[in-house]
Amino acid sequence: MKKGKILKYIAVILLTLILGIGLYFYIGFFGNPISKVLANHSAEKYMAENYPNCYIENVGYNFKDGRYFANIQKEESIDTNFFVYFDWLGNVTYDAYESYVTKGHNTVNRMFMEYRALLDEIITPDSVDFTIDILYGDILTEYYGKDTSILPADEITSMPMEEVVVDKQYDYTELGYKYGYVCLYACDEDVSVERACEILLDVKEKLDKNNIGFKYIDFVLQKPRQADGMLNQDESRVHVNYFNWDDIYEEGLWERVQTAHDLLTEYYAEMDAQKTAEIMVME
């Protein structure tokens, strides 16, 4: 066999190998185009039979689990948004409608986003005399259970799931005071209980003026971050967990914050000791 033909065969083999490897990785990340067509066809048929008032937003491939999916939505519904999953042959493997819509996942998430947006409009960096490190809010519901932390579960007020209604427009004036939760990490050179009281009173006043409140706040007052964005090496802090809105008023506030701070500090010390003991047992 001539040398030229040998080189030609080698080139063809190498090209085929490269194309094969490229196709393997393409399918791994983006899916099989034929399977995507099958999934798209199955999605249209499945939607027509089960959700005739909805539409398909898009059909895609999840390389993490190797499944194809259709994102199905409803034009006049803000909470009807879910996924149906298919295998490579276009067979339906899972319908997430109940999990996302019926059981309240989308509605709970929407309440979180809407309530948080209201907080962000009121408590802005320019409106306070401290640095906001972390600020977000949520509406506590029974969907995620109860994050008890240092409080017994039966002491935490959460929104019952029967009050979580698909597409309902909620009044966050009422809802915030009843089930609202705020997490605020504030940075200031003065890390003291007195300063923590000032900030809590200021935040409450600003929210109250806008008819938005909360039931509980997790609050941390700490030193400003370093120039590189890392936490300050001075770990001094004042922190309270699930501190009640009704307990934020001037008379006796210092004592209430100090007591809550001591209780949380003790709780964290107990958790650290427990983890250390568990590690020692494993070793």
Residue 96 within a domain: yes
Instruction: Please tell me the total count of domains within the chain.
Output: 2
**Residue 27 confidence (pLDDT):** 46
Which residue did the predictor score with more confidence, 143 or 179?
A: 179
Query: If you average pLDDT over residues 54-64, what whole number do you get?
Result: 86
User: Do residues 163 and 249 share a domain?
Assistant: yes
Sheet holding 216-222, edge to edge: 131-139, 180-187, 216-222, 237-244
Structure tokens at 103: 């059981």
Can you give the residue range of the structural domain that contains 56? Answer: 31-102
Sequence-separated (6 or more) residues with CB below 8 Å from residue 230: none
What pLDDT score was predicted for residue 82?
A: 97
Which of 76, 102, 128 finishes a domain?
A: 102
Task: Report the pLDDT averaged over residues 66-80.
Answer: 93
Same domain, 92 and 211: no
For residue 146, pLDDT over 50 is answered with yes
CB 90 within 8 A of CB 35: yes
The one-letter code for the residue type at 23 is: L
Residue 264 lies in a domain: yes
Do 69 and 157 lie in a common domain?
Answer: no
Q: Alpha carbon of 197 to those of 21, 109, 170, 247, 250: distances in Å?
A: 63, 31, 31, 11, 8
Give residue 63's pLDDT band: very low, low, confident or very high (50, 70, 90): low
Average pLDDT of the chain is 87
Rounded distance between C-alpha atoms, residue 172 and residue 242, angstroms: 19
Asked if 264 and 160 sit in the same domain, the reply is yes
User: Does residue 233 sit in the same domain as residue 257?
Assistant: yes
Among the candidates 102, 131, 150, a domain finishes at 102
Residue 20 falls within a domain, yes or no?
Answer: no
d(C-alpha 187, C-alpha 101), whole Å: 39
For position 35, what pLDDT does the model report? 73
| Residue 163: how many other CB atoms lie within 10 Å | 14
Q: Are residues 54 and 124 in the same domain?
A: no
pLDDT more than 90, % of the chain: 67
Could you tell me if residue 60 is inside a domain? yes
Asked whether residue 93 is domain-assigned, the answer is yes
- Assess whether 172 and 61 both reside in one domain: no
CA nearest to 119, candidates 141, 139, 136? 136
How large is the average pLDDT for residues 239-264? 96
- Whether residues 78 and 215 share a domain: the answer is no
Do 256 and 117 have their domain in common?
yes
Average pLDDT over residues 112-135: 96
Average pLDDT in the 163-174 region?
Answer: 94
Cα gap 257→250, rounded to integer Å = 11
Q: What span, in angstroms and rounded, lies between the C-alpha atoms of 262 and 57?
A: 51
**Would you state the pLDDT for residue 26?**
44
Chosen domain end from 80, 102, 124: 102
Q: Who has greater pLDDT, 143 or 26? A: 143
For 145-151, what is the mean pLDDT?
60
Max Cα–Cα distance, the chain, nearest Å: 100
Which pLDDT score is estimated for 148? 54
pLDDT at 126: 95
Report which of residues 84 and 1 the model is more confident about: 84
**pLDDT at residue 193, rounded to an integer:** 98
Is the confidence at residue 25, as pLDDT, over 90?
Answer: no
Distance CA 197, CA 178 (A): 22
- Report, as an integer, the average pLDDT of 7-21: 57
Task: Report yes or no on 132 lying in a domain.
Answer: yes
Asked if 143 contacts 104 with a C-beta cutoff of 8 angstroms, the reply is: yes
Average pLDDT score over residue span 68-86: 95
Range scoring the smallest mean pLDDT among 28-32, 118-122, 139-143: 28-32
Q: Are 99 and 72 contacting, i.e. CB atoms less than 8 angstroms apart?
A: no
Q: Domain check: are 151 and 236 in the same one?
A: yes
40 to each of 83, 159, 215, 269, how far by Cα in Å?
13, 38, 46, 54
Residue 8 inside a domain? The answer is: no
How far apart, in Å, do the first and last CA atoms of the chain sit? 67
Same domain, 118 and 226: yes
As a whole number of angstroms, the distance between CA 263 and CA 257 comes to 10
The alpha-helical segments, DSSP class H, found in 63-142 are 97, 105-122
Is-contact 260 241, C-beta < 8 A? yes
- Other C-beta atoms lying within 10 Å of the C-beta of residue 119: 24
Tell me the CB-side half-sphere exposure of residue 153, using CA atoms within 13 A. Answer: 6
Give the model's pLDDT for residue 28: 44
Most confident of 4-8, 22-26, 39-43, 214-218: 214-218
146, 95: one domain: no
pLDDT at 253 over 60: yes
